[in-house]
């Protein structure tokens, strides 16, 4: 491996520091040469969090790629934690004596250990940019904040700027992806979902998996997905990283973080409809999406308008919910735990999924199908299912604060018929520290599979057409409350009301590590 252990005094902008690279190369350590100084010059930088090392100096982000060539100096670029979950690019410059080749030796040693500890780092990425989604700033965000970081880290990025819907899907399904280590979505949740759907479908097609078999065990894609948040909603990024900051997400991608993620598959009559990683909702959230789609001209404000209208409508829908409870009794949706980076619950679940032969896991859902199905019939304001917390800046705790990213389960939340005031109380608790489930009309379960049946098996699309015809015939005066709502799946509406949902544990992997546990301030 060449010279990998060094220890010598070097000069930094703050003074002389004794710098060492211990055996194993896990950390770059610095100790002030004069310990009686008041300024703190010491440092301990994990090599896994070193983005790059360059010969010469670079005094600002703009000069990263145009650093001054100085054979006696070198610059270490590393991850610097900021307020909250945000990361930034830190820089540390070192100067060696002019009579030595120490700078070159340090650069060589550091690059050796970065390569050794960075086997999961991507070398080539396929980047999809949605220029019109969300805030319409995706291209500018990528070019100004992300591309320079990828270049600094030596990552080759092939950019595809999408011009129409499903362009990313078609590219992923049709093109050769063998030369890439991952896919990157620059946009909102819609862009990510298009990339995710295409990648999962491509993997199943290559493996010859049957689309019409709800019992089929899906295969995990080889490629990881990175999310650069640039949309109106970035729920998946927020729930897996802890912030919607493009630089933070780019740094997670660069150092090769990997976070497994559960995925729900949604079926109707043996037909696969969609995949979901955050919210699959019926009733209130379905109505919100349906109303907002009719008011797209309002821009992002349409979501606030649609939410207010859906609350005031206070519509509840009759239906039957059947579900299979998760086998583990160690966790539940109200245990006050939080899924954080290195979560033991998710780690144990992933180990169980990977252990044993493949054949033992292929029939997992089939075996569970013989288990007990619980049934709840009633009138529901909302039926929600999420396999992550679904946290976002407006709701930092999310729909289900104790949900896990990769434990092979989802949380089913049933909001029974109640008054407008009571429902507002439930919604308001999503924004504060109160327990949104501690209400008599709310019940929550940790599940592996769900079935929903509406009265007489009616579907939303058919009822919409019938309602429009009735409204026309009556001149608009006999418009009644609809019997069925629609399902929303990660922001997209489904045309079918009667569906089956099953959870696939750790089906995909993101360039993320989960939300890091913040140190206690007490």
The residues annotated with a catalytic role in the active site are: 189
Tell me how crowded residue 443 is: count the other CB atoms within 10 A of its CB.
16
Crossing angle for the helix pair 420-428 and 301-313, to the nearest 10 degrees: 140
408: left (phi over 0), alpha (psi -120 to 50) or beta: left
As given in the structure block, the two tokens for residue 69 are: 């060539």
Q: How far apart are CA 496 and CA 34, in angstroms?
A: 71
Greatest CA separation found in the chain?
A: 94
Best CA proximity match to 492, nearest among 215, 316, 278: 278
For 57, which DSSP code? B
Q: Is residue 38 a contact partner of residue 118, using CB atoms and an 8 Å limit?
A: no
Q: How far is CA 402 from the centre of its chain?
A: 16
Q: How far apart are CA 167 and CA 173, in angstroms?
A: 10
Instruction: Give the torsion sign (CA, 150, 155, 158, 160).
Output: negative
For the CA atoms of 407, 410, 390, 354, the dihedral, rounded to the nearest 10 degrees, stands at 20
Q: How far apart are CA 59 and CA 67, in angstroms?
A: 8
Would you say how long the chain is, in residues? 522
Residues 6+ apart with CB under 8 A from 434: 428
As given in the structure block, the two tokens for residue 55 are: 């010969």
467-491: string of b/e by CB count within 10 Å (b at 16+)? Answer: eeeeeeeeeeeeeeebbbbbbbbbb
Residue reference for tokens 């797209």? 296
Tell me how crowded residue 417 is: count the other CB atoms within 10 A of its CB.
17
- Going through 202-294 in order, the beta strands assigned E by DSSP cover 224-229, 259-268, 271-276, 279-283
């Amino acid at each position: 491996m060449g010279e990998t252990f060094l220890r010598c005094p070097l000069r930094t902008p703050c003074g002389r520091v004794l710098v060492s690279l211990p055996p194993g190369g896990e950390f770059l350590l610095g100790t002030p040469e004069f310990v009686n100084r008041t300024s703190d010059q010491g440092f301990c930088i994990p090599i896994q969090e070193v983005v790059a090392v360059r010969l010469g100096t670079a005094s600002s982000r703009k000069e990263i790629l145009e650093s001054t060539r100085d054979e006696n100096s070198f610059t270490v670029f590393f991850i610097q934690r900021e307020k909250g979950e945000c990361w930034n690019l830190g820089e540390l410059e070192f100067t060696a004596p002019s009579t030595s080749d120490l700078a070159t030796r340090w650069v060589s040693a550091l690059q050796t250990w970065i390569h050794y500890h960075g086997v999961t780092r991507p070398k080539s990425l396929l980047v999809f940019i949605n220029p019109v989604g969300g805030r319409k700033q995706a291209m500018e965000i990528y070019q100004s904040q992300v591309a320079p970081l990828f270049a600094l880290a030596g990552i080759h990025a092939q950019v595809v700027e999408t011009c129409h819907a499903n362009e990313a899907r078609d590219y992923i399904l049709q093109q050769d992806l063998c030369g890439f280590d991952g896919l990157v979505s620059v946009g909102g949740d819609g862009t990510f979902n298009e990339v995710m759907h295409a990648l999962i479908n491509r993997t199943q097609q290559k493996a010859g998996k049957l689309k019409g078999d709800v019992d089929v065990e899906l295969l995990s894609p080889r490629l990881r997905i990175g999310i650069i948040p640039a949309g109106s909603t970035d729920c998946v990024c927020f729930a897996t990283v802890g912030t919607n900051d493009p630089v933070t997400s780019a740094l997670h991608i660069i150092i090769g973080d990997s976070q497994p993620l559960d995925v729900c598959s949604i079926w109707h009559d043996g037909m696969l409809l969609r995949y979901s990683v955050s919210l699959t909702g019926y009733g209130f959230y379905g109505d919100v999406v349906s109303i907002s789609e009719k008011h797209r001209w309002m821009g992002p404000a349409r979501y606030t308008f649609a939410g207010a209208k859906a609350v005031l409508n206070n519509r509840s829908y009759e239906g039957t919910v059947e579900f299979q409870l998760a086998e583990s009794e160690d966790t539940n949706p109200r245990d006050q735990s939080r899924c954080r980076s290195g979560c033991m619950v998710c780690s144990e679940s992933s180990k169980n999924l990977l252990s044993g032969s493949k054949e033992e896991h292929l029939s997992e859902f089939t075996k569970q199908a013989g288990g007990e199905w619980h049934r709840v019939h009633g009138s529901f304001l909302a039926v929600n299912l999420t396999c992550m917390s679904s946290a976002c800046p407006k709701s930092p705790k999310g729909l289900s604060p104790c949900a896990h990213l990769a434990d092979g389960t989802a949380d089913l939340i049933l909001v029974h018929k109640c008054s407008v005031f009571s429902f507002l109380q439930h919604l308001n608790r999503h924004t504060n520290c109160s327990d949104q489930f501690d209400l008599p009309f709310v019940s929550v379960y940790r599940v592996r599979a769900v079935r929903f049946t509406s009265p007489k098996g009616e579907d939303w699309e058919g009822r919409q057409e019938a309602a429009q015809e009735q409204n026309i015939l009556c001149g608009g005066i006999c418009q009644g409350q609809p019997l069925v709502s629609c399902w929303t799946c990660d922001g997209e509406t489904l045309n079918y009301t009667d569906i089956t949902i099953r959870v696939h544990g750790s089906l995909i992997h993101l360039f993320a590590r989960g939300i890091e546990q913040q140190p206690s301030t007490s």
